[in-house]
Structure 1
Amino acid sequence: MAWNVRTFEQADTDAVIELWTEAGLTRPWNDPRLDIERKLRVQPELFLVATDPEGVTVLGSVMAGYDGHRGWLYYLATAASHRGRGVARELVAEAERLLLALGCPKVQLMVREGNEGVLGFYDALGYERFAVANTGKRLIADA
């Protein structure tokens, strides 16, 4: 394996935001720095990064959470230079392991419409597609 998976550290912030931007995960209405700050206040041990063996270069990330009913995965991303090598698969496996250790019975995630490549990735990991409508309401505006 040409990477290590570990808990996010504050020094990873800029590299993780760059990774998320490269992967197309950032949106104008979500400030990624605020998302990181919020995560570090709630279950920071479930925010993982994959790094090069020296622990310097961030190659991937995943943010997980558990609300007592189900786990969630967010911000799964792999650097373009390392896609297709198993980084994302390992990040998901470690997030699932940590969630299971908390007693989490199931895990879910959201994928934007039309992102068939990502859906295929999750299909291969045994995730089941649901026909649901998502709704949401901002309680705090980032911008």
Structure 2
Amino acid sequence: MEPLIRPFRPADTEAVVALWEACGLVRPWNDPRRDIARKATVQPELFLVATTPTAAGTEALVAAGMAGFDGHRGWVNYLAVRPDLQGGGLGRTMMAEFERLLGAMGCPKVNLQVRAGNEQVIAFYESLGYAPDHAVSLGKRLIADDEA
């Protein structure tokens, strides 16, 4: 059965964190539960998960990601597909849904960041038509997760 893409629900939190950990997206300086709580306050309709039914009649969370639109650019963050399902088209489906939602909001361009050296993920996004912008990404933490 095809996965169902739907908005994130608070009950999905631990499954999303486990997925992000399994995919190597979690870093010590970013508390994923705080990132989830923050996203729940800003454009929560752009926090999507994909689930499949289990034999027990429950849902198994198999993909998740966050998007946002600031009026100038759209962004996709934390896109993850369960490792054993990667390469099967689910990441492509999730990105198509983000692009559809952002486009419906009037978003003219979508940006995303991939950690340097993650060639497999860079190749995935390039296969979807994304290309390096030849821009340097800078960041400044305003709230340290260990202080919040």
Q: Settle same-fold status: TM greater than 0.5.
A: yes
- Structure 1 CA distance, aligned partners of 2:11 and 2:94? 19
Question: Percentage identity across aligned positions?
Answer: 56
Matches within 5 A, 1:72-83: 72-83=75-86
Matches within 5 A, 1:33-112: 33-53=33-53, 56-112=59-115
- Structure 2 CA distance, aligned partners of 1:87 and 1:2? 9
* Aligned-pair Cα RMSD in Å: 1.1
Kindly indicate whether the alpha-carbon contact (under 8 Å) linking 1:2 and 1:53 is maintained by their aligned counterparts in 2. no
Alignment-mate amino acid for residue 127 of structure 2: A
Q: Deviations over 1:78-129 (max 9, x none)?
A: 0012111111111110011000110101100000000110010001100111
**Mind listing any 5+ residue stretches in structure 2 that lack a counterpart?**
none
Residues 119-128 or 50-59, more deviating: 50-59
**Counterpart for residue 20 of structure 2:** 20
Q: Deviations over 1:18-46 (max 9, x none)?
A: 00000000000000000000000000000
Kindly indicate whether the alpha-carbon contact (under 8 Å) linking 1:65 and 1:73 is maintained by their aligned counterparts in 2. yes
Residues 51-60 or 21-30, more deviating: 51-60
Find out whether 1:139 has 2:142 as its counterpart.
Answer: yes
SS in 1 for 2:80: strand
Alignment-mate amino acid for residue 47 of structure 1: F
SS in 2 for 1:95: helix
- Structure 2 CA distance, aligned partners of 1:26 and 1:126? 26
Q: Deviations over 1:60-93 (max 9, x none)?
A: 0110000000000000100012111111111110
TM-score (norm 2): 0.93
- Structure 1 CA distance, aligned partners of 2:53 and 2:92? 17
Aligned residue-pair number: 143
TM-score (norm 1): 0.96
Deviation at 1:59, TM superposition (A): 0.3
